């Protein structure tokens, strides 16, 4: 029996393409002591993977060429030499992009398979914790704040907007890249206002949606969105800088927001965020957001692509906004 892996075949310049990936059949290694064999059921594609395809020093090392890519995945153990992880245990780990993998027991975390497995990669996983810690700790959200979040119909953004609503925001505003996503934010997620950033200048649409300004901007996008938020933020406003997806495929340095002087005049706080720094909030996050998910007060959706051979196209689609909610690849 062979296993299938998706390797990084070459480093993309600009927008990645399917030719940057290679499918490689391997003979799975035998199991050593202290190891488990995991058969992946579902894997995540995430925007940060675009950064790791570049050969640059960053917060995470580049993916090596000619080796499987990495990323969050959930599977079941099919062979084990670890007493505490018997065959049949479902686990979360970071060895996605392959049909099966041998890992040390310490590299996997048991999960409860009575929940939908994709939730561990989305609303109750890394993107959910990013939203929770980013909004509450990094942006120091307070009840009564007006909150603006970009990429609002995505994995992180949809959770940010709903936590803000459930924690007593005065007004929650989201931007997204299609009329359908705008309707989803308004009709399904309870946003107070939403706009399609492709319809008109962001600053114009944001100012119209926020006649009294905003206290918090949760930035997933950067660029024109960040410049618009700087203009519309109120005095002592806060920005959590979570990501800048509008720039991930850039081949030239990006123009800065032209209005950074607003940071001075409005005494703004601008703070970057990496989810790894917020592991101490995981228990609070799972308790609070888990309860909202169970009660149905916080909704989530997933865009699921079938088959490991379609993982590269799922990733390319994510970068172009082909997802509503969390983008996942189902392997089994």
Give the binding site for ligand NAP (CB under 6 A).
Answer: 46-48, 127, 130, 151, 153-157, 176-178, 181, 197, 220-221, 242-243, 245-246, 273-275, 318-319, 321, 323, 327
Determine if 48 is a binding residue for ligand FER (CB under 6 A).
Answer: yes
Q: Which stretch binds ligand FER (CB under 6 A): 161-169, 178-186, 252-260, 274-282?
A: 274-282
At 158, give phi and psi (nearest 5°): -65, -35
151 binds, among ligand FER, ligand NAP, none (CB under 5 to 8 A by kind): ligand NAP
How many residues bind to ligand FER according to rule CB under 6 A?
A: 9
Determine if 115 is a binding residue for ligand FER (CB under 6 A).
Answer: no
Looking at the Cβ atoms of 153 and 268, the one nearer to ligand NAP is: 153
Six-digit token string for 228? 């618009």
321 binds, among ligand FER, ligand NAP, none (CB under 5 to 8 A by kind): ligand NAP
Which residues have C-beta within 8 Å of that of residue 80, sequence separation ≥ 6? Answer: 31, 35, 36, 37, 86, 87, 89, 105
The 3-state DSSP class for residue 93 equals strand
Is 96 in contact with 69 (CB distance < 8 Å)? Answer: yes
Query: Whole-angstrom Cα distance, residue 235 to residue 251?
Result: 35
Determine if 47 is a binding residue for ligand FER (CB under 6 A).
Answer: yes
Please give the torsion angle defined by the CA atoms of residues 74, 75, 81 and 82, in that order, rounded to the nearest 10 degrees: 40
Determine if 59 is a binding residue for ligand FER (CB under 6 A).
Answer: yes
92 binds, among ligand NAP, ligand FER, none (CB under 5 to 8 A by kind): none
CA-wise closest residue to 308 among 3, 6, 2: 6
Q: Any idea what the Cα angle at residue 123 is, between residues 121 and 127, rounded to 5°?
A: 65
Determine if 128 is a binding residue for ligand FER (CB under 6 A).
Answer: no
Contact residues: ligand FER, CB under 6 A:
46-48, 59-60, 243, 274-276
């Amino acid at each position: 029996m062979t296993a299938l892996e998706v390797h990084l075949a070459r480093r993309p310049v600009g927008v990645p393409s399917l030719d940057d990936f290679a499918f490689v059949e391997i003979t799975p290694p035998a199991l050593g002591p202290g190891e488990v064999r995991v058969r992946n059921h579902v894997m995540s594609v995430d925007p940060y993977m675009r950064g790791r395809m570049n050969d640059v020093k960053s917060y995470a090392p580049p993916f090596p060429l000619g080796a499987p890519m990495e990323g969050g995945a959930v599977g079941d153990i099919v062979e084990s030499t670890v007493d505490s992880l018997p065959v049949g245990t479902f686990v979360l780990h970071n060895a996605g992009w392959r049909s099966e993998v041998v890992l040390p027991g310490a590299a996997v975390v048991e999960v409860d398979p009575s929940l939908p497995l994709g939730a561990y990669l989305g609303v109750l996983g890394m993107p959910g914790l990013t939203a929770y810690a980013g909004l509450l700790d990094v942006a120091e959200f307070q009840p009564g704040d007006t909150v603006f979040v970009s990429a609002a119909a995505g994995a992180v953004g949809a959770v940010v907007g709903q936590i803000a609503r459930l924690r007593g925001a005065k007004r929650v505003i989201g931007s997204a890249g299609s009329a359908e996503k705008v309707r989803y934010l308004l009709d399904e997620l309870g946003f107070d206002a939403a706009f399609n950033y492709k319809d008109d200048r962001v600053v114009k649409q944001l100012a119209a949606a926020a006649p009294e300004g905003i206290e918090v901007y949760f930035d997933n996008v950067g660029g024109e969105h960040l410049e618009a938020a700087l203009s519309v933020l109120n005095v002592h406003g806060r920005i959590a800088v979570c990501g800048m997806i509008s720039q991930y495929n850039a081949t030239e340095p990006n123009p800065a927001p032209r209005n950074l002087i607003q940071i001075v005049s409005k005494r703004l706080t601008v703070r970057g965020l990496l989810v790894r720094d917020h592991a101490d909030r995981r228990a609070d996050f799972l308790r609070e957001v888990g309860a909202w998910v169970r009660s149905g007060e916080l909704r989530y959706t997933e865009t699921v692509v079938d088959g490991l051979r379609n993982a590269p196209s799922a990733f390319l689609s994510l970068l172009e906004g082909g997802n509503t909610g969390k983008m996942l690849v189902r392997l089994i």
